[in-house]
Structure 1
Amino acid sequence: MGQRPVTSTLASLRALPAPTRWLLMGIGLARVASFMIWPFIAVAMNKRFGTPITEIGAQLALGAVISIALSPLSGLLGDRFNSRNLMLFGCALCASCYLLMGLLPGQTSYFAAIIGMALSQSILEPLLRMLLSDTAVDDAQRTFLFHIRYYVVNCAAAIGPLIGLWFANHQSDGVFCVAVCVYALLTLTIINADRARLRNPHLTKTTSPALREILRAILGSKLFLSIIVANFFLVLVYAQIDEPLTFYLLQLSVDDINHIIAMMSFTNAAVVLVVHLLLMNWLITLADKTAYLMALGCLMVAHALIALNTGAWWAGWLFAVVFATFAEIIVMPLFGTLIDRLAPRGMRGSFIGISMLAGLGTALAPLLGAVVIAHFGGAVLFWGLALACIPIGLLGYRVLRASQPELAPAPSPV
């Protein structure tokens, strides 16, 4: 019984077109390269160049805001112009940033690379999702692709830092050469997938929509706007498991805090890589409104466990991470699937790009968490977050239930 989901998932993966599988591999390797570098970038800048931590944080925050803010523009441009050329430009920009850090290491070059990478990711993230979706042969494959892409990205998040740790410990700039080669490979997979997209008989050839038409479609879809709002609040609540939880551990003066943080990261990765693989096909067939409510329920339990764990019992943190990861597994691919199914033909890039504005919740989470913890304490923050899951969950459930005729569930993959 336990082997059926794995077998079914592998069969669905083999059923994907070859260009789609190659594109998935390119995306996965690009994420591995990213996780080899960026988790250690703050330490490298501080120890090698003496950059203050506050300055590093400001630079990374600026990069995150740029990436999120420009994603809608990239989606709009991808629908109106040649999205392949935009993606190739994004890959070239990424490779240039890594070359800059490897050949001319310094505070200025690293800051320029952070901004350049933010710009490139704002281009690549929405357009790669659109390209991946366009290579599928039917709606069932599209739904599966959003789950398998999520799984591949999490595999990269588990593998990348382990490889990058060696380069970081040896202060080797060779990691940047690896990243350049990976983005060259991603470029080839994009070209191959774009050719397959042009040959896809399931895609209707349409002219590029006018900007006014795109904006009318976006603003006219109350469901789309409601999903973005719900996703923003959900991301804001979920992201408190990251930096704000670390702030709370510091406030509690937890012993061996680095060990606990490492254990929580490992628990998150292990749950995603094992549980999501086993439950993937069940989650694909689960009704949207039910999945959303289950995710908020798991998130509510996670925050309640953190609030209750005033005695700093290490297993309490791990149980909280397990429930939060359950919520992540259920809801993160769900939103990608919903946006993909809502987007009219010829406007998928625009809808995906606009939907990424919900990621601003992640950018606001550390500030919100720090302010509440400093003034009221961590227990107040996490009890408040647990209670906030109730209205957020009910809002999303009502939106999805009322829109059921508009969003017919996709059939499960063969």
Structure 2
Amino acid sequence: MSNVVSVKRFKQFPQLMWILLFGSFITRGSYYMVWPFLAVMLYEKFALSATHVGLILSSAAVIAVLVSFVGSALSDRIGRHQLMYASGILYIISFSLLAQVSTIAGYALVITLCSIATALWRPLTSALIGDIIDDKATRELAMQSLYFVVNVGCAVGPMLGLWMGLTGEQSSFYITAVAFAFLLALLWWGFHQHSKIEKIEPVIAKVTENNEDTASLATQSQSQPSSKTKVKGKRQAAAGNQIIKVLIADKLLQCLIFANILCMFIYAQMDSSLIQYLTRAKVPDVLELISAMIFTNALVIISTQFLLLKLMANLSLISRIQIGLVLLMCSQIWLAVNPLTLFWGWIGAIVVMSLAETILFPTMNVHIDRLAPDHLRGAYFGAASFYEFGYAIAPLGGGIILDNLGGPWLFFIAAALTLIVMYLYSILDKMPRPDFVELDKLKEQGI
């Protein structure tokens, strides 16, 4: 029965949602052909220390997070379309430049542009899903589906890049630029079609009302906004000062952001510090090992995501997240004790970490979607992009620990941080929140 319901919900996806899914697949696939090997390129080209590589990546990511918050909140006022086009164009420009730069300063600047584009794109996509799908269950399935296809792209990308001999090649950044150009063309067409449908729907509704031949109902419908109009009205942008006041008053959101900053710091060690650790330790066949880890990560996610979703359907979001955090902690301990030359030991640790990610990441998005009022969805997803501070400081923090304490200590510290995250999630329900009903009333009165 649940399978039938899922199929019905998939059929409820608007055309624009399918474009987002396909576009996410091709862009993530091309992105992961090259981006994970950036730290290796910097080390091999310029012989930079782990701390210096981390400083370049972290500085770019911190700037990107700040831009992302402002951009996502602004999208509630000027629309997702324009900002998505802008971030897509920035992707194309920055990845094209990344294929050509030859100096440390050039890399630092262009990596920053790439990071800004990525940080803008992700929350805008999540907020757009909320805009185009009203039904809560269908919207959550759409977010799970987006996460699924992103990881299919992550699985295909590095292995395809390795097979084509593109791994570690600077010129391969052009592939990502072309993929985003294609996605922008698809989005332009999708937005155009979606706007046509939105214009036709009120006409159909009006014809239906006339056919009912009930004058009183017709009069009532003209004087009162439809449910769809009400939803759109809620989604009108709040004033900037109101957004800041709401976010400051929402202590639950602040606690959640801090917990997830730590969570992202832990997880991001795989993308930056682990790769640096393996490269500098002269692990045999390091590029093949890195590709295999990325492939394993994505393969585990795409093969277990919907199974785990079904198994945990009766658990609360917080319970699911706590289970994911236990697995994340176990993976960090495994990484800390694994012998350098034990290839399958690294793969095993990544399997456990991937199971944790499968539970944690889509659940985080669903959690924010449930917390966010409709008219502040962009602002809340923008605030959630502060999670990326954890991802941003991970290369620098991990690099400092690597240079001073070594790889095992890095992962033991990450395991200890997981315990702090588990505690913060356990106290979330005790955190105060704003009265959104009262805020809506004040907004209607123009206060």
Question: Structure 1 length normalisation: TM-score?
Answer: 0.81
Contact residue 308 and residue 359 of structure 2 kept, 8 A: no
RMSD: 3.6
Secondary structure in 2 matching 1:286: coil
| Cα gap change, 1:266 to 1:341, in 2 (>3 Å) | same
> What is the one-letter code of the residue matched to 1:335?
M
| Cα gap change, 1:385 to 1:34, in 2 (>3 Å) | closer
Residue 166 of structure 2: which of 157, 164, 168 is its match?
168
* Structure 2 match to 1:188: 189
* Structure 2 match to 1:126: 123
User: Is 1:360 paired with 2:356?
Assistant: no
Cα distance between partner residues in 1 of 2:273 and 2:310: 33
| Cα gap change, 1:53 to 1:218, in 2 (>3 Å) | same
Kindly state the Cα deviation for residue 367 of structure 1 after the two structures are TM-superposed.
2.4
> What is the one-letter code of the residue matched to 2:187?
L
Cα distance between partner residues in 1 of 2:57 and 2:394: 14
> What is the one-letter code of the residue matched to 1:24?
L
Contact residue 331 and residue 352 of structure 2 kept, 8 A: yes
Cα distance between partner residues in 2 of 1:39 and 1:366: 12
Kindly state the Cα deviation for residue 265 of structure 1 after the two structures are TM-superposed.
2.2
* Structure 1 match to 2:239: 210
> What is the one-letter code of the residue matched to 2:68?
S
Contact residue 158 and residue 291 of structure 2 kept, 8 A: no
Residue 325 of structure 2: which of 296, 311, 322 is its match?
296
Kindly state the Cα deviation for residue 127 of structure 1 after the two structures are TM-superposed.
1.7
Cα distance between partner residues in 1 of 2:160 and 2:292: 18
| Cα gap change, 1:379 to 1:151, in 2 (>3 Å) | same
* Structure 1 match to 2:67: 70
| Cα gap change, 1:101 to 1:197, in 2 (>3 Å) | farther
* Structure 2 match to 1:388: 417
> What is the one-letter code of the residue matched to 2:166?
A
Kindly state the Cα deviation for residue 81 of structure 1 after the two structures are TM-superposed.
2.0
Kindly state the Cα deviation for residue 53 of structure 1 after the two structures are TM-superposed.
5.7
> What is the one-letter code of the residue matched to 1:182?
L
Moved more, 119-128 or 394-403: 394-403
Contact residue 256 and residue 425 of structure 2 kept, 8 A: yes
Cα distance between partner residues in 2 of 1:389 and 1:112: 33
> What is the one-letter code of the residue matched to 1:73?
V
Kindly state the Cα deviation for residue 23 of structure 1 after the two structures are TM-superposed.
2.6
Contact residue 147 and residue 362 of structure 2 kept, 8 A: yes
Cα distance between partner residues in 2 of 1:257 and 1:321: 15
Kindly state the Cα deviation for residue 19 of structure 1 after the two structures are TM-superposed.
2.7
> What is the one-letter code of the residue matched to 1:23?
L
Secondary structure in 2 matching 1:16: coil
Percent of pairs with identical residues: 27
| Cα gap change, 1:178 to 1:269, in 2 (>3 Å) | closer
Contact residue 232 and residue 361 of structure 1 kept, 8 A: yes
User: Is 1:143 paired with 2:140?
Assistant: yes
Contact residue 59 and residue 111 of structure 1 kept, 8 A: yes
Cα distance between partner residues in 1 of 2:96 and 2:341: 44
* Structure 2 match to 1:155: 152
Question: Structure 2 length normalisation: TM-score?
Answer: 0.76
| Cα gap change, 1:44 to 1:63, in 2 (>3 Å) | same
* Structure 1 match to 2:305: 276
Cα distance between partner residues in 1 of 2:364 and 2:119: 18
Cα distance between partner residues in 2 of 1:113 and 1:252: 28
Per-residue deviation, residues 11-65 of structure 1 (Å, max 9, x unmatched)? 5423323332233223333333433454466778999xx6776798765544323
Per-residue deviation, residues 91-130 of structure 1 (Å, max 9, x unmatched)? 333344456678xx45488776544444433433222211
Secondary structure in 1 matching 2:247: helix
Contact residue 88 and residue 181 of structure 2 kept, 8 A: no
Moved more, 358-367 or 36-45: 36-45
| Cα gap change, 1:191 to 1:74, in 2 (>3 Å) | farther
Per-residue deviation, residues 254-285 of structure 1 (Å, max 9, x unmatched)? 44444433332222121111111333333455
> What is the one-letter code of the residue matched to 2:305?
H
**Which 5+ residue runs of structure 1 have no aligned equivalent?**
407-414
